[in-house]
Amino acid sequence: MSQSRQLAAIMFTDIVGYTALMDEDEQKAFELLKKNRQVQRPIIEKYHGRWLKEMGDGVLASFSTVTDAVYCAAAIQKTCEEEPNLNLRIESKNRYSSRRSCL
């Protein structure tokens, strides 16, 4: 059995105050969720990231380099400054992922 390892930089974002907004105005919350996708998806792709999963208002993305993840996060933050009401919390982690294959 051979094993290969790959460094992965993981970025997670979520919308600040989304749950409270859902309680107040569900339609507005869904519109904000749509705007979040429109903002993040192309930026993640631009920095060679993979959109792994969406969980409610959270987005999980993976990058092959830490540099791409950091530049992506900075670009998302800059873009959000121009978007009213789209306040994101961004977290990142470096992880090694193992892949095993039988030969």
Residue-level pLDDT at 92 = 72
Quick one: fold of 11-92?
Alpha-Beta Plaits (3.30.70)
CA 13, CA 4: separation in Å to the nearest integer?
Answer: 28
Greatest CA separation for the chain: 56
Residue-level pLDDT at 93 = 67
Place of tokens 């979040």: 36
Residue-level pLDDT at 83 = 87
Average pLDDT per consecutive 10 residues, the chain (103 residues; last block may be shorter) = 79 94 95 95 97 95 93 94 88 54 34
The closest of 101, 94, 103, 69 to 3, measured between CA atoms, is 101
What is the pTM for the complete model shown? Answer: 0.82
